[in-house]
Amino acid sequence: MEIFWAYRISGDVCFLDADESGHCVRVLRHRAGDEIDVIDGEGTLLHCRLTDDNPRGAQAQILSAVPEWNAHPYNLSLACCPTKNNERFEWFVEKASEVGVDTIFPLIGEHSERKVYKTERAKRIALSATKQSLKARIPSIPEPRSVKDFLKESRDGLKLIACCFEGENPRITINEALAQYQGSEITILIGPEGDFSEEEVALAVKEGYLPISLGASRLRTETAAVAAVMAVYLRAM
């Protein structure tokens, strides 16, 4: 199934950017009059008819809409410290997008090897994985911020921080934490290569986060992040 993404919708008209238009018109050879499926990136699938087959800026008219198309029954924010190796973090972005995640917050931790992060490539990967896995909501990927700044932001729902050590508050497993919670708003923090610092975890606890363990295996950052998304996804099965 081919899906395109509209960067802008105005009334009943969808606008495709240069990348999407090129793919639609040049690669897949669609022409004005063809019916195409377009996602708005925010949950809705739009059945459309191509009206302008400009390969640099195509336009289509909306015929009908399917709200919450293939939506998952939770709102998951995965806040993770990007790894020094960008490819590893990008695998996580792709897999999280396929499985189902709503927001990926790149964070810079005290022990992060990567202190600077540009979201552009991750956003392209998230878009591509969203289309490939037949979803209509593209995970949003905000600009990076420090772990401490993120912890101080007000958030609803279940808030978990995965760390490898036992701080003052003993950890519970991610399964136990999810089993205790009836709602659907979930935030999970995954630390950098060097783990969260004791101060970061103490601040998290103060801000209402539960320290959790992701099991007995020693997982890389990007693997831990995928494990966390999988735990939420499997719970919702």
Binding region for a copy of itself (CB under 8 A): 70, 72, 91, 95, 98-100, 132-135, 173-175, 213, 215-220, 223, 226-227, 230-231, 233-234, 236-237
Nearer to a copy of itself, 28 or 234 (CB): 234
Nearer to a copy of itself, 95 or 151 (CB): 95
Shortest distance, position 223 Cβ to a copy of itself, whole Å: 5
The one-letter amino acid code at 227 reads: A
CB of 174 to a copy of itself, least distance (A): 7
- Taking the least distance from each CB to a copy of itself, the nearer of 119 and 173 is 173
- Minimal distance, residue 222 CB to a copy of itself, in Å: 9
* Residue among 10 and 182 whose Cβ is closer to a copy of itself: 182
Write out the chain in H/E/C secondary structure: CCCEECCEEECCEEECCHHHHHHHHHHCCCCCCCEEEEECEECCEEEEEEEECCCCCCEEEEEEEECCCCCCCCEEEEEECCCCCHHHHHHHHHHHHHHCCCEEEEEECCCCCCCCCCCHHHHHHHHHHHHHCCCCECCECCCCEEHHHHHHCCCCCEEEEECCCCCCCCCEEHHHHHHCCCCCEEEEEECCCCCCCHHHHHHHHHCCCEEEECCCCCCCHHHHHHHHHHHHHHHCC
Residue 217 beta carbon to a copy of itself: minimum distance, rounded to whole angstroms: 5
Chain-centroid distance of CA 195 in Å reads: 21
- Considering beta carbons, is residue 72 or 145 the nearer one to a copy of itself? 72
Q: How far is residue 182 from each of residues 147, 157, 230, 236, measured CA to CA in Å?
A: 26, 10, 18, 11
Give least dist CB 175 to a copy of itself, A: 5
In the complex, minimum distance from the CB of residue 167 to a copy of itself, in angstroms, rounded to a whole number: 19
Identify which of residues 82 and 144 has a Cβ nearer to a copy of itself in the complex. Answer: 82
